[in-house]
Structure 1
Amino acid sequence: MPNSQKNFSKNNYDYDDFHNSEIEVELATPWQRSAAYIINLAFFLVCCYVGTRLYIFHEGSQPKLMHIDDIALTICLLIPSIPFITAQWIMMSKTGQSFGKRLMKIKVINLDGRNPGFVGTVLIREILFHTIISTFSYLLIKIFNLNENSTEQICNYLITFVCFLMLFRTEANCRTFQDYLAKTIVIKK
Structure 2
Amino acid sequence: MKEVELAEPWQRLLAGAIDRILPIIFFILTITVGANPRYARAKLLWLYDSILIIGCLTVLSFLWQAVIMSRSGQSIGQKILRIRVITDTGENPGFAKYVLAREVFFFAVLLSLCGLLSGLGLGHIIYCAVQLLYLIMLCRKRGNYQTPQDLMLQTLVVKV
TM over 0.5: yes
Q: Identify the residue that residue 5 of structure 1 maps to in structure 2.
A: none
Deviation at 1:162, TM superposition (A): 2.2
CA distance in 1, matches of 2:67, 2:139: 29
In structure 2, give the amino acid aligned to 1:180.
L
Deviation at 1:126, TM superposition (A): 0.7
Deviation at 1:174, TM superposition (A): 0.5
Unmatched 5+ stretches in structure 1: 1-21, 64-73
Q: Does 1:88 align with 2:65?
A: yes
Taking structure 2 as the reference length, the TM-score comes to 0.82
Q: Does 1:44 align with 2:44?
A: no
Q: Identify the residue that residue 121 of structure 1 maps to in structure 2.
A: 98
Q: Residues 124-139 of structure 1: matches in 2 within 5 Å?
A: 124-139=101-116
Q: Residues 1-189 of structure 1: matches in 2 within 5 Å?
A: 22-56=1-35, 60=40, 78-142=55-119, 144=120, 146=121, 151-152=123-124, 154-189=125-160
Higher helix proportion (structure 1 or 2): 2
Deviation at 1:75, TM superposition (A): 6.4
Deviation at 1:57, TM superposition (A): 5.2
Deviation at 1:52, TM superposition (A): 1.2
Q: Secondary structure at the match of 1:53?
A: helix
Deviation at 1:76, TM superposition (A): 7.8
Moved more, 75-84 or 119-128: 75-84
In structure 1, give the amino acid aligned to 2:14.
A
Aligned length: 152
Q: Secondary structure at the match of 1:26?
A: coil
Q: Secondary structure at the match of 1:31?
A: helix
Deviation at 1:155, TM superposition (A): 4.1
Matched-pair contact (CA < 8 Å) for 1:108–1:187: yes
Q: Identify the residue that residue 70 of structure 1 maps to in structure 2.
A: none
Larger relative contact order (CA 8 Å, sep ≥ 6): 2
In structure 2, give the amino acid aligned to 1:174.
Y
Unmatched 5+ stretches in structure 2: 44-50
Deviation at 1:61, TM superposition (A): 5.4
Q: Percent identity?
A: 29
CA distance in 2, matches of 1:61, 1:180: 54
Taking structure 1 as the reference length, the TM-score comes to 0.71
Matched-pair contact (CA < 8 Å) for 1:52–1:76: no
CA distance in 2, matches of 1:52, 1:99: 24
In structure 2, give the amino acid aligned to 1:126.
E
